[in-house]
Amino acid sequence: MGSLPSAGRNRMKRLVLARLLQAGLVMLVVGILCFVLVRALPGDPAMRIAAGRYGPDANITEAAEQVRRELGLDQPLLVQLGASLGQLARLDLGHSVVTGLPITKELRIQLGATLWLSGSALALSLLLGPPIGLLAGLRRGGWVDNASLGGAIVLRSLPPFVLGLLLILVFAMLLGLFPPAGYGTWRDLALPALTLALGLAAVSSRVARDAVAAVARTPYLAFARLKGLPEAVVVRRHVLRNAAIPVISYLALQAIYLIEGVVVVETLFGIPGIGHALVHAVIARDVPMVQGTALAMGLLFVVIAMAVDLACHWLDPRPKRT
Amino acid sequence: MTTKLVAIAVAVLSMTGMAAAKPLKVVGPWEIAGIDPAQSGFVFSRMQVAETLVSVDADGKLTAGLATSWSAAEDGLTWRFRLREAARFHDGSAVTAAIVADTLRKVQGGAGALSQVPVAGIEPDGEDVVIRLSKPFAALPAYLVNYTTIILAPSSIGASGKVERIVGSGPYRVKSLTPPLNMQLEAAAEWAGAKPGIAEVDYQAVGQGETRALMAESGEADLVFSMLPVSVERLKRNPNLDVRIATIPRTRLLKVNAASPLFSDVRVRRAISATLDREGTTRVILRNADLAATQLFPKALAGWHDPELPPLKRDLAAAKALLAEAGWTPGADGVLHKDGKPFSFTLLTYASWPELPPIATAIQAQLKQVGIDAKVSVGNASEIPARHKDGTLEMGLVSRLYSIVPDAIGTLRDDYKSGGSDWGATGWSNDELNALVETMAQTSDPAARAPMQRRAIAILQSELPSIPVTWSELAVVANKRVTGLRIDPLEVNYGLAAIRWAQ
């Protein structure tokens, strides 16, 4: 892309700085909110933690008293919040009160699994969605457009667990190609990633189709054709670049769909991911784990948003009028 | 020439295939929530990674574990456990009496089963571990089967004093452990007993029952534990699978607050019991009418099931008569009233076991037939102990395990003591039962115990501080690729080391 004019560089700097400031604020707000929300939930946290640790066959009341003493849950709430924030300020996420493992280790395993899954899902969806959208947008009302609209409606309206079960039935039971659940190899990742990718591609194909259709109506495209450029060059040079901006911006939104879908898909396919971990952490009132997970996810959103901003800036370097 | 080459290639390929050991793929619902033995010791015990001093066979008879023999002194206060000679941990170090004594002392100070034993001291003495008690307690060896007492090498403990890795002494050692869902095991060179038939084991936790069934059906898993009743019939029809079912000592029961004005009258508790359609509930929800609990303990719990006892059964006319006797009369809305108050309460249950909420709603519908209005509330497992503690529990549907200690006396002692307990009685206590239980805990002679056991069961059947609803079973599916599977109804040890590939 060559060297940017200094105005453009400054804008990039401001962008990155703003996002970094955002990250600091996210950390403070997430730290306080997680603590307050989890502790505001009904029920005695010591009992919940004891049940999370020792299971529903255990002597929970007795175990809860030990948990209370061990974790200082009998101290005033403000003291506990202060200790929790102090720990976060030192960039120490602490230990899970249920598993006893350092949160950083839990995140490495569980967030790592989720990133593998979401990354594969996103990559798969990019292979499916935008190309279909491009074909549909170039021939509006054609059979590709109509078929992909129908497909998108069906796929997006199926909840992920139904779609996942259907894929298991077809690819694991009927064809025997992939295992129905498990974690560790790429074969295990195939079906959960496809479950998520189909949901993502259903929408991204429509976004791409609309973006391409909008570009197809523009005077500059008509001019490009009029001046005699071959269709392949028209598409590559004018359609792809212009239509890519809404599609890439939409990727940031899809990250949210991924987190939503990931909870169900991870449970269904037995993947030790962050969605599964977060649900368990909330049930067991595991404040450090909820904080760590929410922080990691929050920071991840900031990083994704930043990457999308930068990508859009690269695609469309014209300064924005505000 | 070409055919020869192909034949050689196939032969070579199949040989390399055989050389690369294929792991035994085991799937179960249990997650490894934390590796501390108090939390996940049962996984390491069942998978034969770690051992307890005492073990148990399928009939509930105590057998040797890390201890080959044990005996109590005349006064019943001093117990001596002889350790297996040449027992080694997976890090190569010897299992010594000092390590075992240290471990047990720590466990005894925790909240596990062993903390309920009247221990005065635990000391090593040569090759023996000596446990001194403050009063005679014949059930001590049974408490040493409990998974919280697994013995780990000192190298398991990290700098923080917590268990950071699992270094046990069983036939399998941990190759890799990725909590909460994955664990890989390999045959341990330190194990002096029979070599495991399959050198590597992959354990995968899968929470969803439907997914577990699919893993068995697709042939991805060799051994799948804990199938949902709805899947069992379908799996039985699959020619590649071998479905085994064992009755386990777990009872689903109504934990009734006998101190509340609604349930303090024993006639009301008996009426509720007579209202329950146990057979219908078990036939529809558990797909096996034989699981209808006609008394608290199932037949599998030797000595604790009395076939002579009149069974708990449905009798709506008797239920209505008992309720009328207790002063409950039908109101205009069909709900029973007494002193102007309706017979209305919350039936609390939890979803840790997927069958509990549907059973609760079935009970709700059955109680409605005699004019009792129950509202079902599904919460977290800890809510029942919490409501028990603050006295606000009215009725809870719980799933109670009687093999936490393989001698049911362990659970009984805790459940029906004065003041009750998390999963036992609430607002109910019986001096005769308490005395019987204490005497039984000190009696080791089965013949002397039998009449006391029968009397204890009769008291519980007549007083109904807990109203039994259904018994439980464990369904295990094995692919016919494997052979040598043994089902352990007490779920202490799954005997994976004895499993082989079928030829």
Kindly state the average pLDDT of the residues B6-32: 66
Q: What is the pLDDT of residues A209-229, one digit of tens each?
A: 888 888 888 888 888 888 888
Tell me: pLDDT of A173 over 90.
no
Q: How far apart are CA B315 and CA B334, in angstroms?
A: 19
Report CA dihedral (A82, A86, A87, A89) to the nearest 10 degrees. Answer: 140
Q: Which long-range contacts (CB under 8 A, 24 or more apart) does A259-264 make?
A: A259/A297, A261/A160, A261/A195, A261/A196, A261/A199, A262/A114, A262/A117, A262/A118, A262/A196, A264/A159, A264/A160, A264/A161, A264/A164
Closest-CA residue of B relative to A270 is: B206
Tell me: pLDDT of A141 over 60.
yes
The shares of helix, strand and coil residues in chain B, as percent rounded to the nearest 5, are: 35, 25, 40
Tell me: pLDDT of A184 over 80.
no
pLDDT of residue A279: 85
Q: How far apart are CA B280 and CA B289, in angstroms?
A: 7
Q: Is residue B239 helix, strand or coil?
A: coil
pLDDT of residue B20: 47
Kindly state the average pLDDT of the residues B53-77: 92
Query: Please, which pLDDT band fits residue B60 given cuts at 50, 70 and 90?
Result: confident
pLDDT of residue B14: 46
Using the Cα atoms of residue B58, residue B63, residue B67 and residue B70 in order, give the sign of their dihedral.
positive
Tell me: pLDDT of A28 over 80.
yes
For chain A, first and last CA: distance in Å?
24
Contacts of B111 in chain A (CB under 8 A): 54, 58-59, 62-63, 66
pLDDT of residue B271: 97
The verdict on A141 touching B (C-beta cutoff 8 Å) is no
For residue B166, give the DSSP letter.
Answer: -
Tell me: pLDDT of B380 over 80.
yes
In A159-188, the residues whose Cβ lies within 8 Å of chain B are: 165, 168, 172-173, 176, 179-184
Query: Please, which pLDDT band fits residue B114 given cuts at 50, 70 and 90?
Result: very high
Q: Which residue has the higher pLDDT, A181 or B398?
A: B398
Tell me: pLDDT of B141 over 90.
yes
Kindly state the average pLDDT of the residues B314-332: 95
Kindly state the average pLDDT of the residues B6-24: 55
In B224-283, the residues whose Cβ lies within 8 Å of chain A are: none
Q: Which helix (H) or strand (E) segment is A26 a member of?
A: helix A6-40
The verdict on A60 touching B (C-beta cutoff 8 Å) is yes
Tell me: pLDDT of B39 over 70.
yes
Interface test with A, best of B218, B225, B384, B411 (most A CBs within 10 A): B218
Cα dist. B300→B181, B196, B291, B355, B386 in Å? 31, 29, 12, 21, 31
Do the Cβ atoms of A207 and A251 come closer than 8 Å?
no
pLDDT of residue A195: 92
pLDDT of residue B17: 41
Closest-CA residue of B relative to A47 is: B382
pLDDT of residue A256: 66
The verdict on B36 touching A (C-beta cutoff 8 Å) is yes
**Percent of chain B residues topping a pLDDT of 90:** 77
Q: What is the pLDDT of residues B78-111, one digit of tens each?
A: 999 999 998 999 999 999 999 999 999 999 988 8
Cα dist. A53→A39, A99, B24 in Å? 18, 7, 28
Q: How far apart are CA B297 and CA B304, in angstroms?
A: 6
Cα dist. A99→A95, A106, A217, A288, B35 in Å? 8, 9, 58, 11, 7
pLDDT of residue A322: 46
Kindly state the average pLDDT of the residues B236-262: 95
Q: What is the pLDDT of residues A246-290, one digit of tens each?
A: 888 887 778 766 766 688 888 888 888 888 888 889 989 999 999
Q: Do A44 and B38 touch (CB under 8 A)?
A: no
Q: Do A56 and B350 touch (CB under 8 A)?
A: yes
Of A64, A168, A267, nearest to B214 by CB-CB distance is A168
Tell me: pLDDT of B280 over 90.
yes
pLDDT of residue B18: 43
